[in-house]
Structures are given as C-alpha cells and as structure tokens.
C-alpha cells in the first residue's frame, strides 16, 4: 500500500491511473452493453456501487477469479459515478471522504481504497476548514482538527458543555466498534444466540451508546446547551437521522471519520470505477452495463446464477449482491425463498434511509468557487433555529420548501483537475433530504412534478445566491431539479443510504444483515451488509471477502 505523498495530488504530475473522464471523452462513450456475456463466470456481482467494485477487484486480485459485474445503468459506479448532463459533470454521492491520510490520522479506509484501485487513484486534501454550518444568521467553521474545534468552542461557548469529554467518548466508541464488525464474520454455523452473546459482552461503549440518542447524550450526559448540541449535530445529513432519533454511537463515528480532514478523488468520483474495472478485466472478468438482473436463480436452496431482464440466464456457484438488502431479498429472490426466510416481516421492522432531492447548476464559464461544503440548517419562524429535530419534522411533514435546509458544494472547485477535464465550465450541487412519499408522488403523479420542482429550484437557488454571491446575476446553462439523487433505480423509497441507521439496525438487525445469507452461494455486500456511506460500502467488500474465504488477515491488513 502506498500512503506517502505519491498518491496525494501534486500539480503538474502526470495522472498515475487511467485517462480521466472528460467532456470530450465522457463515461457514456466508454461503456457499452457487451454483445456477448462472460460464460460460466467464477462469480456474479449484481451492481457496481463501491461495494460491488470492492469485492470484484478483491476476488480478481486475490483469487484470480473471473467476475461478471452486472449493472442496471449505462455507466458503472453506483453513487461513485457522475451524472453527465449537457456537457457538465455532477456527483451522485461522493462529495468528500474522511480519514484518508495515515500520516495525520488512522487512514482507516485508505489501504482498501489503494488496494481495490491498484494504487492508481490520487486524493486531494480539502481546506483545513472543510465545512461550515449555519443556523439562521449564525455561521460556524468546522476544522480538520479536534484541538482547533475544542479551542474555538470553549472560547465562544464557555460553560455550555463538556467538549473535551465528547471527543474522548467519540474515540472510545470508535474503538469498541470492532465487536460489531466481528458479528458480521462469524460463520453461519455459529447460532445467532451465541453471536448476540458475544456482541453483548464485548460491544462496550459502541453497543451501549447505540441504544441512546444523540440529543440525550449531548444534552444530559455531556451537558451541552441546545445550540452547542445542534452544532455538534449539523452533520446528521451524512447518516439521515435527526438528533432525537440518531443513535449516538453512529453519529459519533460519523464525526470521527472527518476529524483529520476531508479528501476528494482526483479526476472526480467516477475515477474510482475507472481504476477498478481494468483490474477486474485483467483477470478475465467483464463489466456489463445496461444489463439489469431480474431474478437470482435458486435451486434446492442454493443460488446458482442470475436471470437477466431479457430472460438470459447466467450460471455461477457464487452470487454476490450489491443491490441493497431490500432489493436483493424482496425483489431479486424468488417469492418462495422470501417467504421461507421471513424477509417481509424483517422489513416491516425497519425502513429505508431518506432520499435526496437536488438542484444541479452548470455554468459555461470558469468561476472561482469555494472548496468547502456548506451546511444550511432548516429554519422557520415558528421553530427555534437550533431545534434541528423540530425544523426537520416541519419541513418533511408539511413539505415546507421555504426555509428548507441545504447542503451546498462545487464539484468543479473540489476536483483540482476539473478545469483540465471540463474547460470553461463550473458546477454547483445543492442537496436536501426527501421522504419516500415524495419520491412516490414524483414518480407516479405527473401533475405533482412542476409544483415540486419549482419549490425545490426557487428555494435552493436562494441558498446558492446567499452563500455564493458571485453567482448572482449569472444565468446557468443547465438547471436540473428532481428526486431521488441516488443511482439505484430500484432503491427502496429512493433512499440514498440503504436501510435506516437506527439503533436497532446496529443491534437487532446486525445478525441477519451480514455478508453470508441463509441461502448457500448467495452473499451480500454494500451499505446494508456493513455500514452506510461510501467508506462503509467500500469496506464491505473486504468484509465480504474475509467472510467468504476465511482470510481474516486480509481484512486486518486492509485496516477495515
């Protein structure tokens, strides 16, 4: 693994990996549905999100396996691919990655990222103040250092909470998470009661604080004031649960992920798949875009292959699904298998994470825009600006676009080679959470769309002009709004982060949401088998490989 400056961006140094995707050479021209599919592959991977890319690359490199990757869309990558619209490129899910430099932090996910991309992917460090959050007229900067954050918080909010105690607790929770990961690796012959006994005995503070909400711990244990608790909760959109619902342990590890900074893949998120696919192909594997899986073939209780949308059947003794747990078990499995294993009742106990609506803006000129991500918290006259849970509830229950929150970023500013790839262009994306009901209406009610899109466009554009005043008076060449933002066309409720990240998800559900399914030959990878987010899904590939082969040392070497 290379972790020195070689794989961090240096201006003027040649690109170490495959040619970048550009306006002249877009992804849609690089990938095409193959006229003939790989026969008798060693493994079939359904979906090419980062979890699917990760396991396919690992099987190719470690076992020399010929992997057939099936992708529903016309380009690979899941939430790592970029939407190509009118000559512009917009991210679909990767906005920043934390903890990628072991020289200043753990670099927990860096080894995996380097391994699956063959050491061909560079990373750009974002500014020291990598995010700002706003509550009404109050603006706060978030540093890539706990010490710097502690300094300004203690100076501005003396006596409003035990900030040092928070960071100490965050570290302890992060350490104890190993016990949860181990529950995913236990062989299927180990009874669930035994796995739960181990998890209960060794879960430590991870397990303890998974049953307490973020607001409870911040307010009642750490003594935070309402506003300080809100400031420490501004990043709740990264996991999709407001403070009165989010398990504190999961919220804490999300903040821990960015404590030493944020990083961006050079060449854009699509460069990840661009680096992985040649590795899979070099081992005799194949990528098949525009090739949706229709059913997983099961014979005598064993997965034996996949039936495609056109009726073609591809046989393999190993099927790995990166299509999410809900799609895998409720849509791709035969009905008798769903009933046999009681999946319908399991999904009655849990739900999807939020979906995301979006505003995409493309400008036909090079405009200096900030690299930082800006979080604007929802704000309403009848709700206190630091009452995040009440504001979020008001927004979603009444569809109050005026006052809605937003998450603003500029992909053209974050990628250091964007102007090389897309000269004369600038881009901005604004995201906000959406409900499954909105997604359903948007898809099924044509009359609802204009009203919905106008509300999204007008109110998110107001945020753009507030925080990026250099865009006032400029007319974008492209304006797109809609829902959902995610790239899984079958995602439950249009969700972006898999299943809801509730405390039950990490306790009750952890024993069935794991790489090994009850069906012989069928394995799960991606967010739902491990953890939400790009890094959680990427690490799931290592986890699935370790569970599948028993090669736990590989997982440890890759610092999962």
What pLDDT digit, counting tens, does each position of 269-282 carry? 999 999 999 999 99
pLDDT of 6 = 60
Residue of 557 and 68 predicted with greater confidence = 68
pLDDT bracket for residue 457 (50, 70, 90)? very high
Specify the DSSP class assigned to residue 331. Answer: I
* Inter-CA distances, 478 with 65, 79, 517, Å: 43, 21, 44
- Do 488 and 365 sit in the same domain of this protein? yes
In a domain, 155, yes or no: no
Of 461, 492, 523, the one marking the end of a domain is 492
Averaged over 349-354, what is the pLDDT?
94
**CB contact set of 346 (below 8 Å; sequence gap of 6+):** 329, 509, 512
Residue 38, pLDDT > 50, answer yes
Would residue 145 count as lying in a domain? Answer: no
pLDDT for 105: 77
In a domain, 157, yes or no: no
- For the beta sheet containing 406-409, the strands, ordered from the edge strand earlier in sequence to the opposite edge, are 138-143, 129-135, 373-376, 406-409, 426-434, 355-363, 478-482
Say if residues 330 and 336 touch (Cβ distance below 8 Å): no
**Predicted confidence (pLDDT) per residue in 228-248, tens digit:** 999 999 999 999 999 999 999
Q: What angle do helix axes 534-549 and 178-185 make, rounded to 10 degrees?
A: 50
| Cα dihedral 52→55→59→62 (10° resolution) | 150
Is residue 149 in a domain?
no
Contact 514, 529 (CB under 8 A): yes
Report in angstroms the alpha-carbon separations of 194 from 206, 291, 376.
19, 40, 45
Domain annotation covers residue 15? yes
Last residue of a domain, one of 257, 291, 311: 257
CATH number (domain holding residue 291): 3.50.50.60
Lowest mean pLDDT among 5-19, 151-165, 178-192, 416-430: 5-19
Same domain, 364 and 339: no
298 with 397, same domain: the answer is no
pLDDT band at 424 (very low <50, low <70, confident <90, very high): very high
Residue 337 has a pLDDT of 96
Q: What is the mean pLDDT of residues 488-497?
A: 91
Total domains in the chain come to 3
Q: What is the pLDDT of residues 534-548, one digit of tens each?
A: 999 999 999 999 999
Write out pLDDT tens, residues 42-85: 999 999 999 999 999 999 999 999 999 999 999 999 999 999 99
Map tokens 């680096």 to a residue: 275
Q: How many CB atoms lie within 10 A of CB 222?
A: 18
Tokens read off for 366 = 């090079």
Q: Tell me if 16 is assigned to some domain.
A: yes
Q: What is the pLDDT of residue 557?
A: 65
Domain with 221 in it: 163-257
| Burial status of residue 30 (CB atoms within 10 A of its CB: 0-12, 13-18, 19 or more) | middle
Between helix 163-176 and helix 178-185 the angle, nearest 10°, is 20
Q: Is the pLDDT of residue 3 over 50?
A: no
Q: Look at residue 389 in the predicted model and tell me its pLDDT.
A: 95
Contact status, residue 490 vs residue 327, Cβ threshold 8 Å: yes
pLDDT band at 198 (very low <50, low <70, confident <90, very high): very high
CA angle 506, 508, 513 (to 5 degrees): 65
On the 0-12 / 13-18 / 19+ scale of CB atoms within 10 A, 40 is: exposed
């Amino acid at each position: 693994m290379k972790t020195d400056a070689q794989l961090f961006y240096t201006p003027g140094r040649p690109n170490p990996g495959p040619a970048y995707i550009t306006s002249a050479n877009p992804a849609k021209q690089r990938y095409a549905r193959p006229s003939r599919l790989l026969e008798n592959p060693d493994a079939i991977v359904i979906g090419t999100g980062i979890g699917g890319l990760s396991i396919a690359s690992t099987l190719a490199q470690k076992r020399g396996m010929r992997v057939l990757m099936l992708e529903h869309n016309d380009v690979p990558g899941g939430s790592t691919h970029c939407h190509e619209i009118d000559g512009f490129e917009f991210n679909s899910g990767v906005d920043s990655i934390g903890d990628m430099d072991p020289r200043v932090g753990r670099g927990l996910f860096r080894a995996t990222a380097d391994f699956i991309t063959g050491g061909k992917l560079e990373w750009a460090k974002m500014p020291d103040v990598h995010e700002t959050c706003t509550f009404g007229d109050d603006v706060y900067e978030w540093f890539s250092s706990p010490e710097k954050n502690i300094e300004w918080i203690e100076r501005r909010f003396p006596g409003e909470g035990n900030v040092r105690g928070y960071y100490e607790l965050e570290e302890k929770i992060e350490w104890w998470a190993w016990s949860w990961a181990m529950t995913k690796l236990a062989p299927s012959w180990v009874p669930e009661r035994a796995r739960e006994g181990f998890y209960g005995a060794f879960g430590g503070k991870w397990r303890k604080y998974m049953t307490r909400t973020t607001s409870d711990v911040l307010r009642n244990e750490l003594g935070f004031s309402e506003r300080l608790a809100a400031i420490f909760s501004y990043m709740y959109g990264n996991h999709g649960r407001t403070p009165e619902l989010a398990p504190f342990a999961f919220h804490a590890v999300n903040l821990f992920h960015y404590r030493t900074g944020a990083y961006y893949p050079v060449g854009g998120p699509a460069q990840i798949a661009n680096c992985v696919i040649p590795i899979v192909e070099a081992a005799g594997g194949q990528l098949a875009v525009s090739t949706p899986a229709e059913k997983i073939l099961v014979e005598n209780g064993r997965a034996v292959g996949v039936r495609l949308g056109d009726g073609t059947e591809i046989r393999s003794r190993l099927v790995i699904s990166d299509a999410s747990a809900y799609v895998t078990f409720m849509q791709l499995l035969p009905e008798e298998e769903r009933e046999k294993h009681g999946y319908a009742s399991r999904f009655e106990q849990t739900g999807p994470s939020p979906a995301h609506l979006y505003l995409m803006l493309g400008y036909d000129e090079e405009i200096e825009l900030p690299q930082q991500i800006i979080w604007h918290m929802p704000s309403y006259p009848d709700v206190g600006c630091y009452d995040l849970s009440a504001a979020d509830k008001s927004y979603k229950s009444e569809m109050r676009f005026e006052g809605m929150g937003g998450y603003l970023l500029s992909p053209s500013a974050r990628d250091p080679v964007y102007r090389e790839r897309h000269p004369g262009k600038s881009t901005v994306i604004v995201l906000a959470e959406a409900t499954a009901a909105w997604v359903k209406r948007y898809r099924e009610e044509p009359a609802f769309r204009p009203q919905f899109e106008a509300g999204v466009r007008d109110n998110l554009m107001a945020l753009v002009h507030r925080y990026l005043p250099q865009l006032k008076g400029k007319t974008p060449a492209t304006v797109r709004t809609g829902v959902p933002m995610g790239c899984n066309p079958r995602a439950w409720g249009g969700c972006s982060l898999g299943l809801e990240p509730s405390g039950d998800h990490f306790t009750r559900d952890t024993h069935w949401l794991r790489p090994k399914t009850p069906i012989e030959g069928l394995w799960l990878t991606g967010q739902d088998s491990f953890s939400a987010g790009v890094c959680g899904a990427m690490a799931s590939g290592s986890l699935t490989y370790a569970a599948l082969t028993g090669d736990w040392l590989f997982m440890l070497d890759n610092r999962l």
